[in-house]
Amino acid sequence: MARLLLLSNGHGEDLSGALLGRALSEQGHEVQALPLVGQGNSYRTAGIPLLGRTREFSTGGIGYTSLRGRLTELMQGQLFHLLEQLVRLLRRAHRFDLIVVVGDVIPVIASWLCRRPAATYLVAYSSHYEGRLRLPWPCAELLATPRFLAVFSRDQLTADDLSQQLRRPVRFLGNPFMDPVLTPVPPLPAAMQRIGLLPGSRRPELEENLRLLLAVAEQLPVSEELSLDLALVPSLEADALGRLADSAGWQQSGDRLIHRDGATIHVRRDAFQALLQSSDLLICMAGTAAEQAVGLGRPVLQLPGRGPQFTAAFAEAQRRLLGPTVFCAPGDAGSLGNLQASAQLALQLLERCRSDQQLQRQCRQEAERRLGAAGGGRRMAAAISALLS
């Protein structure tokens, strides 16, 4: 079997790359990974060896979304780290039979410079944003060359669009990042209705997002019929969570956060899949997690924050990507008006989840249209393996 290198450049891209890499390993290939930004924890969890050292940055690799983010990355040395990773890639690329790009223009350029055969999964781009995808230069020109043996898209609209633009077949086989959440797991304890709270995973933005979610929870009526469940990553330890909750008017008691008016939030660690599958509505301040929620056929309520990722601009772009089953209340990010309107909209959506069959049908249709069916990782791995036979 072949030696493959996964090349990715972001947290969500690392997750997709790790799932795809695991599927490729199961087909007998020797797989390594080079995450251009971040720690590559998804690869470590999947047991995929990393090529060289990694480093985490406070912007999570998305500093390009603002001038402040660009300056932060520059001061933290992310540009130099990226150049170091590219040099490492150029020196060792000859060891691999195929480079598998997961991401956007940066790993596409890096792969092309290696002069090795490549396959590309453009998880970062979609024609749903504008109707016709404008790939940044020189991405389209490079992908049209014979060096890229296959191009995979994240949805069918993008596959059709790029097939015309690149004048070569672009295939949509599903999204590997949907495979884990579409696999049934034991559900959370039964509840009449459940709202899942998703603050994201990047620190320190995670803490600021969580403060806003707690403020929305305060606006919701206390009811035994409604369960509020918080998906929390391990990086926010119990002590840090306790201090944050206390400063926001909540108290931590075991795996619960309790407000003085009696509201309770159940803290779920290592139960992300179960929370997604068990929730009727997700209040999201996240990227990939919101996509996974939509792919499960769940309505999503956005709560825009102050960034660097989940700003009002990011939320608006996400609505274009994921479609009409993603909702957002009016008002400035973090304002009392937005928090109150978000709570009211959450209650309206919960009622619609119970009684509106049109919304339920639309959620199922958009899930298939925007994200695809389960098994995307296996299908993509099989297509990549076929390139090597």
| 350-381 confidence digits (pLDDT tens) | 999 999 999 999 999 999 999 999 999 999 99
For 217-257, the pLDDT digits (tens) are: 999 999 999 999 999 988 899 999 999 999 999 999 999 99
Over the range 131-143, which residues count as b (16 or more CB within 10 Å of their CB) and which as e? eebebeeebbebb
pLDDT in tens, 164-178: 999 999 999 999 999
Q: Write out pLDDT tens, residues 44-68.
A: 999 999 997 765 555 444 444 444 5
**Mean pLDDT value of segment 302-311:** 92
Question: For strand 264-269 and strand 256-259, is the pairing parallel, antiparallel, or unpaired?
Answer: antiparallel
Percentage of residues in the chain with pLDDT exceeding 70? 93
| Per-residue pLDDT, 45 | 94
Which stretches within the chain are classed as H helix? 11-26, 41-46, 67-76, 78-92, 105-113, 139-143, 156-166, 179-182, 205-219, 238-247, 272-278, 288-295, 312-322, 336-355, 357-370, 376-387
| Strand partners of residue 101 | 7, 120
Instruction: Please determine, for residue 36, whether its predicted confidence score (pLDDT) is greater than 60.
Output: yes
Average pLDDT, the chain: 92
| 340-352: average pLDDT | 98
Q: What residues does CATH 3.40.50.2000 cover in the chain?
A: 3-180+374-387, 185-370
Residue (of 141, 147, 140, 175) closest to 161 by Cα position: 140
pLDDT for the residue 331:
96
Least confident of 87-91, 246-250, 271-275, 315-319: 87-91
Question: Quick one: average pLDDT of 318-338?
Answer: 97
- Tokens 């609505």, residue? 319
Res 47: pLDDT = 96
pLDDT surpasses 70 at 93: yes
Backbone angles phi and psi of 148, in degrees to 5: -95, 105
Fold (CATH) for 3-180+374-387: Rossmann fold (3.40.50)
Q: Give yes or no for residue 28 having a pLDDT over 50.
A: yes
Q: What is the pLDDT of residue 202?
A: 82
pLDDT at 38: 77
State in words which class domain 185-370 has: alpha beta
Distance CA 372, CA 295 (A): 7
